[in-house]
Structure 1
Amino acid sequence: MSLLLAASLVFQGLAILLLGRIAWTDFSTQRISNRDVLLLLCLGLGALQFQALQAHSWLEMGIGAFGGLALFLALFPFWLLRKIGAGDVKLMSVTPFLIGGSSLAVFSILLLVFAVATAAVVKNPFLLPAGMFRHYVQHLDRKGVVPFGVPISAAAICTIALQMYHAIVVATSSGILEQLN
């Protein structure tokens, strides 16, 4: 495994940990800090930089930048209308830098699945077993707040984990083939 791939995997692993923290913080306080989003942007840019140096192509980073800008411009009016939080808009705008351009379709499908599941849990808290958790979700429903950072983070975590798995499989299979020749 090359040093660039290892560094990229470390950055992606740190991004997964930070996304978990963001999801928990958004769920418990309905806030996503600017510091966490900025750190996530730096980790994503670093991982994309290492991947670009290894692949000798900057296309992933360019598509990620375009996707981030497009998401920000598309979601900004919803923030102005108070339909989505500012932290959610910033987190969605940073996500393409984390996952790159080639995985945006996978991320979108996973985001749809996790967003529908989150909305179903918030609207139907009787599906949940624990009374305290059910009470908390009912409180969120009364306030009209849905912690959208949770499905965004979950979809990004799954997408990054798939990318890491694919990178490790490709690296180990190419190493095995080189050893056989």
Structure 2
Amino acid sequence: MDSIINVILVDDHPLVMEGLRSFLDRDHGIIVLAVFDKAKDLLAQLPSYKVDVIVMDIRMPEMNGFELARSIKAGYESIRLVMLSGYSYEEYQRAAFEIGVHAFVPKNAPYSSIVNAIRQSFLGNILVTERAMQYMNRDRLTRMEHRILQLIAQEQNNQQISDELGISKRTTESHISSILIKLGVDSRVGAVVKGFQNGILNA
């Protein structure tokens, strides 16, 4: 038998949360323990609940979703967090995942997507869009990758880069492949352009 997932909903828009609660109540594998319209009220009562997943909005009065997520993670590391937002900016998603949120779902997504996010989060899986993953990886080049990207921007070929850094050509090619994947591009030129756009390279 599948595990029951205990969920708490937090949003200052009651119609949104009641609609979601009504949908979740029809799922026999999910129990909605409570609905809160204020983050501070949730934090005050959280010790009395045995909750697996908290679904929260970003924009709330007094304490926003990011602040709430940090507070929860500081005291309840095992609780999974699903964040809802009317904005799908990659910056928001990046900030959410760095805090420890497991899923970021647009508010206009179908309820089934939110259910999937709850289930995947409960299992410990991270749900992130491809665009957000590229954005989050933008400044995670290793020191060697950053140096190689600088040399690519100086129009050095693979052999010249290898000679400059004292590494094999195969190693250079491996680093370049990693750079392209992390930046979400398919060419050296694209990597340089993205490097300048994201501030990894300086003009």
The verdict on a shared fold, with TM-score over 0.5 as the criterion, is no
Larger radius of gyration, structure 1 or 2?
2
TM norm structure 2: 0.21
The structure where helix makes up a greater share of residues is 1
Q: Which one has the bigger strand percentage?
A: 2
